[in-house]
Each structure stands twice: as structure tokens, then as C-alpha cells.
Amino acid sequence: VDMVKEINYIGIKHPELPPYFGQIDGLEKFDAQFFRVTKGQATSFDPLARKIMEESYSAIFDAGINPETLKGLKLGVFVGSSLSDSTTINLYEVFKLNGFVISGKTMIANRVSYWIDGKGPSYCLDYACASSMACLEIAYQRLKAGDCDTALVGGCIHSMNPVLTLNMKRAGLLCADGKTKCFDKNGDGFVRSDAINMLFLQKAKDAKRTFRCVNRRTEYKITGISEADGNELDAVGRFFGEGKPIKVGSIKSNMGHTQPVSGACSLTKIGLTDVLKSMDLFPDKIIGHSLGEIACAYADCCLTTEEAILVSYFRGITSIETKLIKGKMAAIGLGHKKVRDLCPPEIDIACRNSCESTTISGPAQDIDKFVAYLTSRSIFTKAVASNNIAFHSRYMADAGMFFLFCILLFFKNKIFSKINHKLCKQFISGPILLAKMKEFLKDPKTRSKKWLSTCFLPENWTNAICQYASPEYFTHNILNTVYFEETAKFIPVDAIVIEIAPHGLMQAIIKRSHVNCIHVPLTRRDEKDNVLFMLKAIGTLYQAGLNPDVDAIYPVVDFPVSTETPVLSHFVEWDHSEEW
């Protein structure tokens, strides 16, 4: 990261002035109203004092603390600042405007303490390039002594006047190419840079964000001058002991030399079902489409999480490992009766979706020919991704037997890891299969009345096979037609319809057949942020009259949080509409 840029010194041209600088943008911006600062005061403030207040707020906010809760407590403020051109310039420029000046380095720290009503020590230190590090050391000692319970530590510098820059260049301290070459034999100086940094220190027992522990790593002054850097590294080696590895670093190569501030710079459906349950959102009715029947079984408490996952797995693995024809599936923009009248005998009706939507399944070459024929008649068609498998058709028979045996074996003995697929296939063709079914069959759970089946037509819901979430039920599902159109008629006209799927495929169909319902998909394919999409969906459910317990979807936080926890301060948006 290179934070140095080429600049022009306004009104000054001098051949010896380096054209490179690490400059802060937006110093003239300040959210005066938020910090309860009057216009006259904000105008007279040193720019560094204004920005230190915003950075202090951000540092506290990043620690997971509400700054308002620190009012009246022993909060110390320690700011390192040495030569700062803005202080001197501000003294004269502001005086010309209103004759009233609030300046001086001490005020930089004092203003923060006044704003937050901190009762701990508050002052600026000038230890030249070690200023902010000295502040960190003193803050640590004050915390140990009990003078303060928390502390804001940092530093600031703003180099507006090029006179000092020119003098430093003549002294051989600054490079001409804008590159601070730390630990480099070609190092020829550093680039001056502005910076404002604040850290929030807490005792470990009070911290919500874990403190960082660094072993044998040190941050050095490093000027980018080869001889000086070499001398510093030699001193480090002698102090820490020769022969021991020491990690060294310097941020100056990235941002230039900030002088007093330098020390401070450094399984979808099942899961979604659980999300709804955790928020106390329980459906009046549940309907599954194809594989969605397994999710219904889980939501209806007929399958455990483990069972639901493994039934899904068996469905997939048996479809892949069984020798099947090369199949295809396609969606047609006609009702199933019209499709049946047009359909060649080699193709089956896989899904009866609605009065104007049907999915067909069969051999790939036959599907291709039929789709081409329909397209020539301007009838809507769209390929359905099925991995060359003709689901919900007669061509799944062998896979269905394999699937049935696998889940029977699992439900009876829970020996998934020991299942031999080749052995399973041997049972498919002989009379042994029936005997094994009876031997391994485990008592399945009864489906509740809220689970509306799409495996069977409504008039057949009283049949014995439809009463239970059994291996036979799920096998029937993989082999036969999905009767979604008929089952969807039981959805009330004013219902809130939540689609739980990796993508809201059924939304378009349900919206046309149930125009007065509120339709809420929880996810969407190719969505950049599906978590945000789901949270918006939860908001839609709230607006529709439901009362989701949103707190339940967030984990209980144990403090302090890990160092990998993202920071929060970028969520703070300051009102920078005015310039000061």
C-alpha cells in the first residue's frame, strides 16, 4: 500500500522542495453538531483537534463500547504531538476572522476529555518522533496505578508550512523520489507524512475485543537512510541478543514518516428452516417441491438433521452411481394436460407446477427434439439443470431401488460409513431386495396434517404410503410426478408464502396463481450478499404482520472477541457537509 502522493505547494515554488508527501484528505471537514461544538468554536479549533475527536469516537466504537457510557468515568487522554504547522498557522488565520483563538497542543487532548466528560489525566506530550509511543507507555502506567480505567492514546501531525520540509531536505533527511526505502542499502531519506491516530486502551478484564499479543516483534524509527537504519538494526541485535530471530517492521515504506504519530500506526434449506424456527416463526402449512419434500420432513420433525442430510446424500449418490440413460429435463410454458397431448411417448411429465407450467423429463435426444418442436411453435421452453439425470420419470427405476435400499439400511442400523455401494447394487435385481427391505425397515414417523404432500394427488393422501415419512415415500418422490399444482390450491388466498430454497424458483409460478399472497423468498441465486438478502426478507415478514425474534439469529458473544473480528468504525458516517 502506497499512501504517498505527489503534491503542489500552493503559492510556493522552490527547486529543493520534494514534490511527494503523505497527505490527509478532508481536514477541513468536521461534524460540529454531533460533538456539540458551536460554529465559532469549530472555526477557531486547530484542524488536528477536530479530527482527533472523530478518531477518538471511532476508536471507542471499534472496541464495542458506546462512548456515551464513558461519561464521568476515569478516562485518560494522551496525545503525542511535536512540530505541527497547523497550530501556528491557525493562531494567525483564525485571529483575523474572529479575534478568538482556541489553540495550543494541550487543547487537542483537553477537548476530547471535555467532550466525553472524562475524569482521568489529559495532556499532550512532545517526545519528537517517540511522542505517541511515550504516550502509550505513560497510559499503561496510569492504568496500572489506577489513575484511569480506560485511556485514549494517539498522536497527530499536520505539516502545512513547507519551510520545515525545506530545512529537512537540506539536512539530508528527505528523499527526492517519494520512496522511503526502509532496511535498504539504497535508502536516501524519508517522505514527510501527515497522520492522526487514536487507540483505545482497556484492562483485559473489561475488554470486549481481545488485546493483541505480539511475541518478539518491534517497530522501529527507521529513517530510510541506509547508514542510520543499519546502526539501528545493529543496536537491536545487541540488545535482544545475537543469534535470536527478531521480527522487525516499519510502516514508513507505505505512508512516509509521520514523526510524532509513527509509534501508533499499525446445507441451505435445512439451515434456513432452522433460522425461521429460531425466530419463533412456525408455518401453518408446508409444501415441498421435489427434493423439498426432504426439507418438509425435517421441518415436520419426521427426520433429524442427520437423517435429512443423509437422505439427500443418498438421493444424489444413487442417481450418480446407478447406470442410467443420458437424461434431460425442461420447463414448458403450458399446463400438464396440453403438454401430455403433445408429448411423445418416450417423455414423462415430471412436475405439474401450475396451469401454465410443466416440467418434462426423459432421454436427452428425445427432450431436445421435443423442445425444438415446441420452440418452432413459439411455446416457451427452458432447460432445467439436472446433471443429465431424468428425475421423476420411469428412467429412474434402478436408481430408485438403490436409493430405497440405502436409506432402509441406514434407518435400521445407522451404519452409513459401512455401506458398500457395490453390494447394494447386487440386491437390486434379485428377490433378496424384498427380504432386506423387511429386515431393515424401521418404524417411520407419521406426517402431520400441516405437511401437504406433492408426491401424491390430494385424493390419495389417505393411502398408507402417504401417511409416513418413510423410505418408500421418498423413493416414490424420486420416481414419480410432482403434483405441485394440485397441492398449491390449498394455499389460502391471503397467505404469507415463504420459499426456502437456494433460489426462489417457484416465485414466478406462485405469484401468478396466488396474486393476493405475500411472497417472500429467503435467498436468490447470484446475489452478492445473501445474508443481507435474507435479513431484508425477515424485514418483509415483519412488515407483513409477523413478529420474528431477530435477536435469536445472532450468536451469544463472549468477550473479549477475537482479533479477527471486523472493526466497526467504518459504519460511522460523519456529517461533513460543512468546511471549517
Asked if the model's pLDDT at residue 369 lies above 60, the reply is yes
Model pLDDT, residue 434: 35
- Percent helix, strand, coil in the chain, to 5, is 45, 15, 40
Mean pLDDT of 498-509: 80
Q: What is the pLDDT of residue 90?
A: 60
Which pLDDT score, from 0 to 100, does residue 223 have? 60
Chain center to CA of 140:
34
Lowest mean pLDDT among 244-258, 283-297, 335-349, 395-409: 244-258
Average pLDDT on 456-465 reads 93
Q: H-helix or E-strand containing 144?
A: helix 131-145
Please state the φ and ψ torsions of residue 520, each to the nearest 5 degrees.
-130, 100
Q: What is the mean pLDDT of residues 119-125?
A: 92
Classify residue 449 by burial, with Cβ atoms within 10 Å: 0-12, 13-18, 19+: exposed
* pLDDT of 253 over the 70 cut: no
Handedness of CA 288, 290, 291, 297 (dihedral sign): positive
Instruction: Measure the CA–CA gap between 51 and 154, rounded to whole angstroms.
Output: 12
Average pLDDT score over residue span 7-20? 78
Q: What percent of the chain is predicted at pLDDT more than 70?
A: 79
Average pLDDT over residues 148-171: 85
| Distance (Å, whole) CA 389 – CA 529 | 31
Quote the pLDDT of residue 375.
Answer: 95
How confident is the model at residue 226, as a pLDDT? 67
Q: What's the pLDDT at 417?
A: 41
Return the pLDDT at 177.
84
pLDDT of 439 over the 50 cut: no
For residue 442, the model assigns a pLDDT of 57
| Structural domains for the chain | 4-219 (3.40.47.10), 262-322+445-554 (3.40.366.10), 324-405 (3.30.70.250)
Torsion of CA 225, 19, 252, 77, to 10 degrees: 120
Give pLDDT tens digits for 386-416: 889 999 999 988 777 777 767 666 665 554 4
CB 50 within 8 A of CB 24: no
Per-residue confidence (pLDDT) for residue 334, from 0 to 100: 95
CA dihedral sign of residues 212, 218, 221, 222 = negative
Q: What percent of the chain has pLDDT over 90?
A: 33
Where do the DSSP E strands lie in 387-464?
A: 451-452
Long-range contacts of 500-506 (CB under 8 A, 24+ apart): 500/269, 500/272, 500/273, 500/276, 500/292, 500/295, 501/268, 501/269, 501/292, 502/268, 502/269, 506/289, 506/353
∠ CA(123), CA(129), CA(135), 5° rounding? Answer: 30
pLDDT of residue 440: 40
Q: Identify the DSSP state of 128.
A: G
* pLDDT one-digit tens code per residue, 62-119: 888 999 999 999 999 999 887 666 666 666 565 555 545 555 677 889 989 999 999 9
Cell of 290: 421435489
Output the pTM of the full model: 0.54
For the segment 538-552, the average pLDDT, to the nearest whole number, is 92
Q: Which has more pLDDT, 126 or 221?
A: 126
Residue 270 has pLDDT above 50, yes or no: yes
Which amino acid belongs to residue 144?
K
Query: Does the pLDDT of residue 229 top 80, yes or no?
Result: no
How would residue 157 be classed by pLDDT, with cut points 50, 70 and 90? confident
Region 36-56 average pLDDT: 85
Measure the CA–CA gap between 191 and 182, rounded to whole angstroms. 11
Judged on CB neighbours under 10 Å (0-12, 13-18, 19+), 99 is exposed
CA distances from 29 to 25, 49, 98, 575, 580 (A): 9, 12, 19, 8, 6
With a cut of 80, say whether residue 545 has pLDDT above it.
Answer: yes
Distance CA 345, CA 343 (A): 6
- Mean pLDDT for the stretch of residues 122-142: 87
Q: What is the DSSP string of 510-526?
A: HHHH-TTSEEEES--TT
Determine the residue type at 67: P
Whether the link from the prior residue into 15 is cis, omega within 30° of 0, is no
As a whole number of angstroms, the distance between CA 553 and CA 272 comes to: 11
Q: How far apart are the first and last CA of the chain?
A: 30
Res. 165: pLDDT tops 70: yes
Q: Quick one: pLDDT band at residue 40, thresholds 50, 70, 90?
A: confident
381 pLDDT higher than 60 = yes
Q: What is the mean pLDDT of residues 220-230?
A: 63
Residue 407's CB: how many other CB atoms inside 10 A?
24
What is the Cα–Cα distance from 573 to 555, expressed in whole angstroms?
26
Any idea how long the chain is? 580
Distance, CA of 549 to CA of 530 (rounded, Å): 19
Is-contact 554 548, C-beta < 8 A? Answer: no
- CB 490, CB 484: distance < 8 Å: no
Instruction: Compute the average pLDDT of residues 130-153.
Output: 90
Range 322-343 average pLDDT: 93
Min mean pLDDT across 202-216, 311-325, 441-455, 472-486 is at: 202-216
Which of 103-112, 255-264, 355-364 is the most confident on average?
355-364
Exposure pattern of 53-91 as b/e (b: 16+ CB <10 Å)? bbbbbbbbbbbbbebeebeeebbbbbbbbbebbbbebbe
Looking at residue 285, what is its pLDDT? 94
Residue 348 scores a pLDDT above 90: yes
pLDDT at 425: 45
Tell me, what amino acid is at 109? A
Instruction: State the average pLDDT over residues 321-333.
Output: 90
Give one DSSP letter per residue of 53-84, joined into a string. Answer: HHHHHHHHHHTT--GGGGTTS-EEEEEE----
Residue 193 pLDDT greater than 70, yes or no: yes
Is 539 strand, coil or helix? helix
Q: Pull the grid cell for residue 517.
A: 399472497
Q: Which residue's C-alpha cell is 523520489?
A: 177
Mean pLDDT of 41-61: 87
Name the least confident of 97-101, 235-239, 292-296, 471-475: 97-101
Name the DSSP class of 550: G
Cell of 271: 439451515
What mean pLDDT do residues 15-29 have?
82
**According to the model, what pLDDT value does residue 428 have?**
40
pLDDT at 172: 86
Beta carbons of 358 and 481 less than 8 angstroms apart: no
